Amino acid sequence: MAVLEILSDQRLFGGRQIRFAHDSAVLQCRMQFSVYLPPQATQQDVPALYWLSGLTCTDENFSVKAGAQRVAAELGLALIIPDTSPRGENVPDDPDGASDFGLGAGFYVNATEAPFQQNYQMYDYICKELPALVEAELPLSTSRAISGHSMGGHGALVIALREAGRYRSVSAFSPISNPVNCPWGRKALAGYLGNDESQWQQYDASLLLAQKKAALPILVEQGDADPFLAEQLKPETLQAASAASGSELELRMQTGYDHSYYFIASFIEDHLRFHARHLLP
């Protein structure tokens, strides 16, 4: 088991905001992630919400900007906030230096294409290595929920739909809902998985949801002033898939909100309380 190195540790709403580093066997590089432990964690193991961030982000975007810790402290929820991709000098990046692929843009898939397959195993990192590590080393129960924003919303939905029984609930802000049919998704899936589009389908939440009724409740938040709404996000495909499979999806369109962390900060309390209803006795 990897050893956790504490990079920073601050008191916050009676709990602790901690940034860790560790050597990842799955990603074959040094990784950083953030954790908020609520005050209840000093007395008992607490359930955890995993937050997956979007393109260009690190673990610090959510921990600094979303304002989630106050409500997490009240509810007794831990927040587990991983990075968005492997990092390091030897980790391959987009050859053109673009921000929608490579470093900061792991898309939460297990890459099969060279040179990315050695490091870009973000699906297994999020589902397997990171939970095993934090649940062994921190006062966490095995009750989990998952959420995310944009690329991270895509990751949260796909992981929750594929990993039946691992999570109690899933939510997303402005998710890339149908990546096989949008520019961001097609670039990433081709780069990480190759040109066989049949292999892409396992990482498309709309396709997964249409095939099988979801075993957990889903909440999706979307701003109608989001500049990426029509071309990249396509929440209507997720809604149609939910209707086709009879799944429990609540899609909330919010008037005037964009794609920023101002949007996330406005509604993160609703999402934490949604997850708490399914995580807490």
CA neighbours closer than 13 Å in the CB half-sphere of residue 238: 32
Active-site pick, 22, 259, 271, 275? 259
Nearest-CA neighbor of 184 among 209, 155, 212?
155
The DSSP line for 220-247 is EEEETT-TTIIIII-HHHHHHHHHHHT-
Q: C-alpha distances in angstroms, 90 versus 86, 115, 116, 122?
A: 10, 11, 11, 16
Catalytic pick among 150, 169, 206, 247: 150
- Residue 226 appears among annotated catalytic residues: yes
23 is catalytic: no
Give the β-pairing of 29-37 and 78-82: antiparallel
CA dihedral 185, 34, 2, 77 (to 10 degrees): -100
Active site residue 150: yes
Tell which residue, 56, 260, 233, 54, has the closest CA to residue 155. Answer: 54
Distances (CA, A) of 93 to 59, 89, 96, 114: 19, 10, 8, 12
* Active-site choice (83, 100, 204, 226): 226
3-state secondary structure of 10: strand
Q: Which residues are catalytic?
A: 150, 226, 259
